[in-house]
Chain A
């Protein structure tokens, strides 16, 4: 955790932190599905995913093949971040290499948020026009 990421992460509650990461995960799952279904990207070729870290201003990409992503998705509480972007106190590092780090969070919090997101599935949300 570098100086920019601060040492005052405790001001973010764990639910908010997981919500941020679940949204990034949704983006990456769409990248994965479009990459494989529309563009037929082989599973050993890297996809340019968004970093699933807690920094809302993070604009860096993680280049990771679908087969590695599958391993990272073995639990809904696992997320993929760039090396150095993991947040101590919020997540535990499960795997680390030069390209990415797989972290895990409180599974109960993640499950609660996933259930809330599923209840408000995009297709059942009120029509609001382009949003």
Chain B
């Protein structure tokens, strides 16, 4: 019997009424077929779907995208856990994930789009998993919807699902990710590091993070993340500055991210851990490959 491949679909809707109508039908179909289902959307939308499903909502697991997907690089591991725990011969899985919603900042939005594209690679060999990503066409700008069309092999709207001719394909994902980062300010602190100065780097980042007003636990997170990445890079330069609501820290060094998913999948036993650790501890990690090497920009909120 043929097994369905991974189906990654953008669901284009306008407002809460269409959101609930379209997705509650999708969930009820899954419940009727006894398919394990995970929904990761904002808390308000979780409530709307629960209310619509009534008692049936107990058969669906819900999670808040604001927590799970604050750092978009953490979403694929969450789906991996869902798939690993529920996949079995003959079992079909359903998911709803809304990583792109009004209120995402510009940097987060770039990384959330990247995440959407990488889902196609992450679950390329996963069968019988249907993941629907809702996009509110009334609340999101046109360029965001256009990017959604480039990242999803399937699109549905108005009750119709179709293959998407605008999907960019996997080839685009294998190219170095070099989307430009907003320029860092001229006043950013600059700290060069090498194999013999990693302890000094940690101390200087700690001093700067303290001066900038980060909480103690956030300071520790930042120092751990920076030092782990620097340790793999052996030498390079760290820049650190204060944004409006966060501390930004950029690490420059040699190398390239050869495997597009390397910063979010569980590292192999002989792999460096730096970028993976940073994604565990920071709200956003932007990794870029360029002719001069690599840049990792870490965002840590001042909260």
- Chain A residues with a Cβ under 8 A of chain B: 2-6, 8-9, 11-12, 19-20, 23-24, 26-27, 30-31, 34-35, 38-39, 41, 47-48, 50, 54-57, 59, 61, 113, 116-117, 120, 122-123, 125, 127-131
A57 nearest CB across to chain B (Å): 2
- With a cutoff of 8 Å between Cβ atoms, the chain A residues found around residue B206 in the complex are 34, 38-39
- Contact with B224, one of A24, A27, A61 (Cβ below 8 angstroms): A27
**Given A23-B273, A27-B280, A129-B255, also A54-B81 (CB < 8 A):** yes
- Contact with A38, one of B67, B87, B202, B274 (Cβ below 8 angstroms): B202
- Chain B residues with a Cβ under 8 A of chain A: 36, 38, 58, 61, 63, 67-68, 70-71, 74-75, 77-82, 84-88, 202-203, 206, 216-217, 219-221, 223-224, 227-229, 231-234, 236, 251-257, 262, 266-267, 269-277, 280-281, 293-296
B220 with A122: CB separation less than 8 A = no
- With a cutoff of 8 Å between Cβ atoms, the chain A residues found around residue B74 in the complex are 57, 59
- Contact with A122, one of B262, B273, B275 (Cβ below 8 angstroms): B273
- Contact with A4, one of B61, B87, B253, B254 (Cβ below 8 angstroms): B61
B95 nearest CB across to chain A (Å): 12
Could you write out 13 A-B pairs with CB less than 8 Å apart? A3-B61, A8-B86, A20-B266, A24-B280, A30-B227, A30-B277, A31-B221, A47-B220, A55-B81, A59-B74, A128-B232, A129-B233, A129-B293
- Contact with B223, one of A12, A34, A125, A131 (Cβ below 8 angstroms): A34
A48 with B273: CB separation less than 8 A = no
B266 with A130: CB separation less than 8 A = no
B10 nearest CB across to chain A (Å): 21
A131 with B232: CB separation less than 8 A = yes
B283 nearest CB across to chain A (Å): 10
A57 with B75: CB separation less than 8 A = yes
- With a cutoff of 8 Å between Cβ atoms, the chain B residues found around residue A39 in the complex are 206, 216, 219-220
B81 with A130: CB separation less than 8 A = no
A26 with B293: CB separation less than 8 A = no
A116 with B269: CB separation less than 8 A = yes
B196 nearest CB across to chain A (Å): 12
**Given A31-B221, A131-B255, also A59-B85 (CB < 8 A):** no
A130 with B280: CB separation less than 8 A = no
- With a cutoff of 8 Å between Cβ atoms, the chain A residues found around residue B257 in the complex are 131
- With a cutoff of 8 Å between Cβ atoms, the chain A residues found around residue B262 in the complex are 131
A8 with B88: CB separation less than 8 A = yes
